Amino acid sequence: MTSNGYVEELRQVGGARVQLLRGGQGPPLLFLHGAAGAGMWLPFLEGLARRFAVYAPAHPGFGRSEDPEWLDAIDDLVHFYLDFLDELGHPKVHLVGLSLGGWIAAELATVCSHRIGRLVLVDAAGIRVDGVNVPDLFLMSPDEAVRTIFADPATAAAIYPPNPTTEELEIILRQRATLARLAWNPYLHNPKLLRRLHRIRVPTLVVWGQEDRLFPLEHARAFQQAIPGAALAVLPGCGHVPPLDRPEDFVRTVTGFLEEA
């Protein structure tokens, strides 16, 4: 147990040794991070852990998790998380996914809704909307990427070290390479996912930053319309990463939805 109230461990799951952060008590909640949030116990996770038992693994190829040779597409991560759910041993978990993690969560929910209590998709990747431009992260400088992803670049500066250590730099470069392997072509989406979203049979909340410059609000509405009964919460003052831009608003919104009778 760390001084911040969470446990960090390495677990062997589905043919890979993965980094797992966990903390809190209550109904189990599995959080799937975005492309740059692996292995970090951030304030919004601490907020969720006040009401839930939060599990926050680093995807294979991210953080301090192994980069297995079998990992080359999003569906590999979907099947990895099927194994991960079996490893946790809970009949059902709440599932919250951000950006890349939202893509994985949506794909996962189309094939195993019976393992999910409630689903929250946060500025999720994974689909394309006709006529809506999505900027290319792989062509951006670090400064351009920060301005695209965060409503306020100062938020990024407070979270990510300006002068990373050698180990941290190696993780950053490895994560970028993994993201390119998973989501370069087609870029950040699965052409088949949109027409499969109707298979999600659990209460779903789509959470979106009003100022998301990577996936504009049209993507949120497309998810909402494709998932039966889905609700939409748009958070003002947030860009692509509401849990980092406005952690208290995000925790309040998500907790309220997950605890609905």
Q: What is the pLDDT of residues 154-206, one digit of tens each?
A: 898 888 877 889 998 999 999 999 999 999 999 999 999 999 999 999 999 99
pLDDT digits (tens, 9 = 90+) for 89-130: 999 999 999 999 999 999 999 999 999 999 999 999 999 999
User: Is the pLDDT at 24 greater than 50, yes or no?
Assistant: yes
Q: Quick one: what percent of the chain has pLDDT higher than 70?
A: 98
Q: Give the integer Cα–Cα distance in Å for 134 and 213.
A: 8
Q: Would you state the pLDDT for residue 142?
A: 87
Q: Is residue 1 part of a domain?
A: no
| Residue 139, domain member (yes or no) | yes
pLDDT at 50 over 70: yes
Q: Give 191-201 pLDDT, tens digit per residue.
A: 999 999 999 99
Which amino acid is located at 170 in the chain?
Answer: E
Domain CATH number, residue 76: 3.40.50.1820
Residues 218-260: pLDDT tens digits?
Answer: 999 999 999 999 999 999 999 999 999 999 999 999 999 999 9
Residue 63 within a domain: yes
* Any domain includes 239: yes
Q: What percent of the chain has pLDDT over 90?
A: 89
Does residue 1 register a pLDDT over 80? Answer: no
Q: Give φ, ψ of 145 to 5 degrees.
A: -65, -40
What token pair was written down for 47?
Answer: 């907020």
Yes or no: say if 89 and 197 are a contact pair by the CB < 8 Å rule. no
Band (4; pLDDT cuts 50, 70, 90): low
Q: Is residue 128 part of a domain?
A: yes
pLDDT computed for residue 159 by the predictor? 84
Number of domains the chain is built from = 1
| pTM recorded for the entire structure | 0.96
Q: What is the pLDDT of residue 3?
A: 45
Average pLDDT taken over every residue of the chain: 95
Which structural domain, as residue segments, surrounds residue 44? 6-258
pLDDT at residue 160, as a whole number:
82
CA distance 110 to 77: 14
Tokens read off for 215: 């996936």
Q: Tokens 């969720």 map to which residue?
A: 48
Evaluate whether residue 185 is within a structural domain: yes
Q: Residue 115: which of 180, 200, 31, 175 has the closest Cα?
A: 200
CA distance 35 to 170: 15
Torsion sign over Cα 191, 195, 199, 204: positive
Specify if 88 maps to a domain: yes
Mean pLDDT calculated for residue range 37-49: 96
Whether residue 216 is predicted with pLDDT greater than 50 in this model: the reply is yes
HEC readout, the chain: CCCCCEEEEEEEECCEEEEEEEECCCCEEEEECCCCCCCCCCHHHHHHCCCCEEEEECCCCCCCCCCCCCCCCHHHHHHHHHHHHHHHCCCCEEEEEECHHHHHHHHHHHHCHHHEEEEEEECCCECCCCCCCCCCHHHCCHHHHHHHHCCCHHHHHHHCCCCCCHHHHHHHHHHHHHHHHHHCCCCCECCCCHHHHHHCCCCEEEEEECCCCCCCHHHHHHHHHHCCCCEEEEECCCCCCHHHHCHHHHHHHHHHHHCCC
Give the pLDDT mean for 131-143.
94
pLDDT at 2 over 70: no
